[in-house]
């Protein structure tokens, strides 16, 4: 192991402040008038490596809301012209991410960002690259009126659902009889999304399951590099977190790693988090997204600008993209802890580790079967 100057180490510790520990987020009950699921709440089992699933008090998951949400997620009826479903941009074959750098919506409209995987989105404190949605419920209502994505109105969707006898039955089972509201649809979709958990990867079996053979030697070296929380090492773990009993590989804070910086124009191509907070230091900052199933979700970053993990590692080993607000936790100086001659091997080891983060696919990641014929 390399010895570190104690002063440097102290600085690194002071700068690389860990985030507050992961909290299960439970929101207060809905204001009077909000719909409540009618059925019996169910427990969604968390796979090895993931914590219990948080959910809001006014939307406990039930078998009926989950089944309804599953159907809605795959239904193009949500978009104005019936051509786009949630699953059109969050594809089962790409671990519920979009293999296109940026998504296409109705009429081939081009979006500005890459669609992230929604596996394990149940654990996110906020949704979207800039965190502008505070819950899955809130998020689920946003793609519908988005002019590029689904270009529909929430009342338009409500009318369409009310005119569909199969949905009338499914909503009555899930929320009781009465008028179908988009709030119900959003709650059902959110409950379905909370079942999209993927864990039990080789890393989980090694780290949390006691199976020391689950990782290759290279991946074990990669894990050590990943977890080197000094500012002159890769320091991945400061932003993509591994806790004692589980790992989401994400965190609630937003960071500027420089991906959005345009050196020629000396400006951010995408404002990022500042659009939500208005705080100048948040310009060009994005959510530290999960790395689970990362080999299935290329291309990478909010703009889909990196095609391979090798490219991502070159980016970090160069210290990110220099810009006036580059995060203090980025490996600014490249990674001087690792001698130049050993860097190619270190990158290869890190890639082996990232490959070991591919987990089991949840059953709900496949399209739903036909509506049951029985009444
Ligand atoms: C036209 C493509 C498209 C459609 C349709 C679409 N999404 Fe997305 N989704 C995206 C993109 C792109 C992002 C990232 C946008 C951003 O961060 O600004 C995203 C982000 C998300 C996120 C946040 C994930 C995270 O890690 O922050 C969730 C959850 C989500 N979508 C669920 C849905 C649901 C539910 C629907 C259907 C109601 C849907 N999406 C429809 C493209 C799409
Ligand atoms: C300062 C915090 C920080 C550090 C340190 C950090 N990351 Fe990230 N990571 C982020 C953020 C923020 C993003 C999203 C950036 C964007 O899209 O603009 C990201 C994105 C990624 C992505 C792409 C994810 C996707 O789905 O597109 C990968 C892969 C990744 N990081 C791996 C690593 C590795 C490996 C390390 C260590 C060498 C590391 N990160 C260090 C914050 C960090």
> Do 265 and 143 share a structural domain?
no
Residue 30 has pLDDT above 60, yes or no: no
- The total number of structural domains in the chain stands at 2
pLDDT at position 111 is: 84
Domain residues for the domain of 338 are: 199-355
pLDDT of residue 19: 44
What is the predicted pLDDT for the residue at 105? 84
Average pLDDT, the chain: 90
Helix, strand, or coil (residue 255): strand
Same domain, 268 and 282: yes
What pLDDT, on the 0 to 100 scale, is given for residue 43?
97
121 lines ligand 1 (CB under 6 A): yes
Confidence of residue 108 (pLDDT cuts 50, 70, 90): confident
Largest alpha-carbon pair distance within the chain? 72
Averaged pLDDT, 130-154: 92
| Band of pLDDT at residue 13, cut at 50, 70 and 90 | very low
The CA 270 to ligand 2 mean position distance, Å, reads 16
Q: Which residues of 221-230 are buried (b: 16+ CB within 10 A; e: fewer)?
A: bbbbbbebbb
What is the helix (H) or strand (E) element at residue 267, kind and residue range?
Answer: strand 267-268
Tokens of 158: 């409500």
Q: Would you state the pLDDT for residue 333? A: 87
Establish if 47 belongs to a structural domain: no
Task: Supply the pLDDT for residue 319.
Answer: 95
Residue 92's CATH number: 1.10.760.10
Specify whether the backbone of 95 is left (phi greater than 0), alpha (psi in -120 to 50) or beta.
left
Helix (H, G, I), strand (E, B) or coil at 141: coil
Same domain, 109 and 227: no
- pLDDT at position 225: 97
Do 180 and 249 sit in the same domain of this protein?
no
Joined tokens for residue 131: 């965190």
Same domain membership, residue 191 and residue 112 = yes
pLDDT tens digits for range 31-45 = 445 899 999 999 999
Are residues 244 and 280 both part of a single domain?
Answer: yes
Last residue of a domain, one of 197, 218, 241: 197
- 51 is a domain residue: no
pLDDT at residue 255 in the model: 98
Question: What does the alpha-carbon distance between residue 156 and residue 162 come to, in Å, rounded to a whole number?
Answer: 10
Poorest-pLDDT segment among 91-100, 102-111, 120-129, 185-194: 102-111
Residue 165 clears pLDDT 60, i.e. is over it:
yes
How far apart CA 143 and CA 96 sit, in angstroms, is 15
**Which is it for the CA torsion 208, 211, 215, 219, positive or negative?**
positive
Q: Are residues 188 and 242 in the same domain?
A: no
- Judge if 204 and 344 occupy the same domain: yes
- Residue 135 Cβ contacting ligand 1 at under 6 Å: no
pLDDT in tens, 50-73: 999 999 999 999 999 999 999 999
What residue ranges line ligand 2, CB within 6 angstroms? 116, 234-236, 238-240, 255, 257, 259-260, 286, 288-289, 291, 294, 297, 300-302, 312, 316, 327, 329-330, 350
d(CA 216, CA 151): 47
Confidence of residue 285 (pLDDT cuts 50, 70, 90): very high
List CB contacts of 374: < 8 A, sequence separation 6 or more.
none
- Residue that is last in its domain, among 171, 197, 223: 197
The answer to whether residues 131 and 252 belong to one domain is no
Which two tokens mark 7? 């002063």
231-253 mean pLDDT: 95
Average pLDDT score over residue span 311-339: 95
Domain boundary among 129, 163, 197: 197
* HEC assignment per residue over 270-332: CCECHHHHCCHHHCCEEECCCCCCHHHCCCECCCCCECCHHHHHHHHHCCCCCCCCCCCCCCC
Give the pLDDT band of residue 372 (cuts 50, 70, 90). low
Of 3-12, 117-126, 192-201, 362-371, where does mean pLDDT reach its minimum? 3-12
Residue 188 and residue 319 share a domain = no
Q: Which of 115, 276, 365 to mutate to test the pocket of ligand 1 (most atoms within 8 A of CB)?
A: 115
Same domain, 104 and 155: yes
- Ligand nearest the Cα atom of residue 298: 2
Average pLDDT on 323-337 reads 93
What are the residue numbers of the active site?
149
- Structural domain includes residue 216: yes
Q: Which residue has the higher pLDDT, 371 or 274?
A: 274
Which pLDDT band, with edges at 50, 70 and 90, does 370 fall under? confident
């Amino acid at each position: 192991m390399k010895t570190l100057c104690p002063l440097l180490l102290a600085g690194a510790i002071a700068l690389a402040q860990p985030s507050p520990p992961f909290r299960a987020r439970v929101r207060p009950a809905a204001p009077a008038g909000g719909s409540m699921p009618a059925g019996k709440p169910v427990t969604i089992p968390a796979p090895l490596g993931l914590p219990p699933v948080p959910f809001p008090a006014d939307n406990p998951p039930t078998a009926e809301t989950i089944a309804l949400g599953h159907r809605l997620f795959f239904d193009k009826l949500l978009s104005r012209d019936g051509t786009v479903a949630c699953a059109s941009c969050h594809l089962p074959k790409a671990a519920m991410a979009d293999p296109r750098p940026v998504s296409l919506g109705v009429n081939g409209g081009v979006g500005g960002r890459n669609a992230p995987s929604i596996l394990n989105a149940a654990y996110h404190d906020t949704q979207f690259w800039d965190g502008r949605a505070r819950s899955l419920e809130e998020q689920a209502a946003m793609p519908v009126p988005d002019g590029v994505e689904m270009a529909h109105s929430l009342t338009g969707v409500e009318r369409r659902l009310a005119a569909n006898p199969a949905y009338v039955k499914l909503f009555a089972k899930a929320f009781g009889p009465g008028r179908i509201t988009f709030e119900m649809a959003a709650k059902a979709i959110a409950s379905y999304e909370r079942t999209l958990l993927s864990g039990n990867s080789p890393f989980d079996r090694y780290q949390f399951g006691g199976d020391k053979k689950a990782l290759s030697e290279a991946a074990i070296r990669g894990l050590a590099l990943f977890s080197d929380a000094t500012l002159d090492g890769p320091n991945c773990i400061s932003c993509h977190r591994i806790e004692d009993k589980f790992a989401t590989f994400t965190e609630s804070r937003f960071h500027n790693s420089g991906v959005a910086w345009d050196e020629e124009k000396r400006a951010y191509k995408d404002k990022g988090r500042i659009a939500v907070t208005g705080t100048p230091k948040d310009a060009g900052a994005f959510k530290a997204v999960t790395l689970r199933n990362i080999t299935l979700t290329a291309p990478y970053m909010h703009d889909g600008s990196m095609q391979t993990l090798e490219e991502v590692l070159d980016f970090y080993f160069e210290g990110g993209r220099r810009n006036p607000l580059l995060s203090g936790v980025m490996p600014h100086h490249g990674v001087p802890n690792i001698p130049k001659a050993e860097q190619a091997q270190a990158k290869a080891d890190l890639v082996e580790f990232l490959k070991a983060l591919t987990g089991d696919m949840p059953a709900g990641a496949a399209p739903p079967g036909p509506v049951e014929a029985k009444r």
